[in-house]
Amino acid sequence: MILTVVGARPNFVKMAPIIHEINRRGLPQVFVHTGQHYDAKMSDVFFGELGMPRPDVYLGVGSGSHAEQTARVLLAFELVLLEHRPKLVVVAGDVNATLSCALTASKLGIPVAHVESGLRSFDREMPEEINRLLTDHISDLLFVTEPQGRVNLLREGIAPEKIHMVGNTMIDSLDTHLPAALARRPWEAFGLEAGGYGLVTLHRPSNVDDEAGLREILGALETVGKRWPLLFPAHPRTAKRMADWGLQPEGLRVVEPLGYLDFLGLMAKARLVLTDSGGIQEETTALGVPCITIRENTERPVTMDEGTNQLVGTKRENIEAAAWRAESAVPSGTRPALWDGKAAVRVVDILGDWIKDLRS
């Protein structure tokens, strides 16, 4: 039996195609939601829009510090593993639940498969980077989305037979749901014209937990917002920081977090996207939409080498200059290899063979 895990909003998009494919083939599966993202706007809406089954197990770990979340998942997930005794645990991405579940399984001698392996920002101050590194080094199957991921893993001494280039399951979800997302025409709900607005996301602590840094970024967005209307579905963490510091930049329309389909539709018809998200760098590349990444590094270099992404840092003048470049340039990026909507099929092919080998 295969045990699949989701924990936070990005995981749902990565894991949904795999969960669907496992079910389509009739393989035995237990689906666990750790509850790292637990409110309706950040979690429940995704189950409905992605057509995911309800979890067999819900841990409800909730919010807290990195240590608190990790400890709660370790304790709760161990009981799940002892009850169900899976042959393989499948985790995705780089959130706290990813590492916690992989570590718990590894300690119990249960093999781990990691979806989205090998991504590296080379910035140890990012909690996600620690989660990625440790999860990869205790995993038995490592599913890679882009060539640099394989290079990184081999450089770190991971055995090549553990590494599988499968493509990007986030793009599977995007291709499946894009027609429905566009049919909703979500830009109209905000009085926007297709192709005539920018879309913004900010959530990384390094950007939003420092008042001076956040003011710098918002100042740039205020300038860009004089050229195009900017829609900002604000992460709860970011919204709280802005309220605490009285930050209300003009030209930036702050709204509550959106569901997957509305956000995907808005992203597909945006003139440009300004973000610090990893997954959005990939989605904009697949959509051919210019992306300005407000970070000093990226773990997804293929989005710059082949896609539509500009990595610009956090200084106001650099963000503004990138926006003007995006305004005048015609997007010319291409989809990377195997970002073809069939990554989950390749993943489950490998998972199925793995389970067969264990039985033989």
Please list the residue range(s) of the chain that carry CATH number 3.40.50.2000.
2-168+339-359, 176-328
Tell me the average pLDDT of the chain: 91
Sign of the alpha-carbon torsion through 40, 96, 345, 304: positive
User: Torsions phi, psi of 303, nearest 5?
Assistant: -70, -20
DSSP 151-202: HHHHHTT--GGGEEE---HHHHHHHHHHHHHHHT-HHHHTT--TTS-EEE--
Tens of pLDDT, residue by residue over 128-177, are: 999 999 999 999 999 999 999 999 999 999 999 999 999 999 999 999 99
Of 228, 281, 236, residue with least CA distance to 254: 236
Which CATH superfamily does the domain covering 176-328 fall into?
Answer: Glycogen Phosphorylase B; (3.40.50.2000)
The domain defined by 2-168+339-359 carries CATH number 3.40.50.300: no
How confident is the model at residue 9, as a pLDDT? 79
The number of residues in the chain equals 360
Q: Are 219 and 316 in contact (CB under 8 A)?
A: yes
Residues of the chain with pLDDT under 50: 37-42
Chain-centre distance for alpha carbon 192: 26
Q: Which of 84, 137, 164, 203 is catalytic?
A: 203
pLDDT score for 235: 86
Q: How much is the CA Rg of the chain, to the nearest whole Å?
A: 20
Counting DSSP H helices and E strands in the chain, the numbers are: 16, 13
Strands 112-117 and 291-293: unpaired
Q: What are phi and psi of 8, to 5 degrees?
A: -135, 165
pLDDT at site 40: 44
Q: Dump pLDDT digits (tens) for 178-218.
A: 999 999 999 999 999 999 999 999 988 889 999 999 999 99
pLDDT at 86: 96
- What is d(CA 151, CA 39) in angstroms, rounded to the nearest whole number? 38
Alpha-carbon distance of 7 to 106, in angstroms, equals: 18
Query: What Å distances lie between residue 129 and 118, 125, 221, 278, CA to CA?
Result: 10, 8, 27, 12
Q: What is the DSSP string of 347-360?
A: HHHHHHHHHHHHH-
Residues whose CB is less than 8 angstroms from the CB of residue 226 and which lie 6 or more positions away in sequence, other chains included:
250, 251
Instruction: Determine the residue type at 238.
Output: T
Buried b (16+ CB within 10 A) or exposed e, 96-120: bbbbbbbbbbbeeebbbbbbbbbbb
CA–CA separation, 128 and 205 (whole Å): 11
**Residue 44 in contact with residue 50, Cβ under 8 Å?**
no
Which stretches of 225-306 are DSSP H helices?
236-244, 260-268, 278-287, 302-305
How far is Cα 99 from Cα 180, in angstroms, rounded to an integer?
33
Angle at 318 between CA 339 and CA 132, to 5 degrees: 40
For residue 112, list its beta bridge partners.
Answer: 89
Mark whether 66 is an active-site residue. no
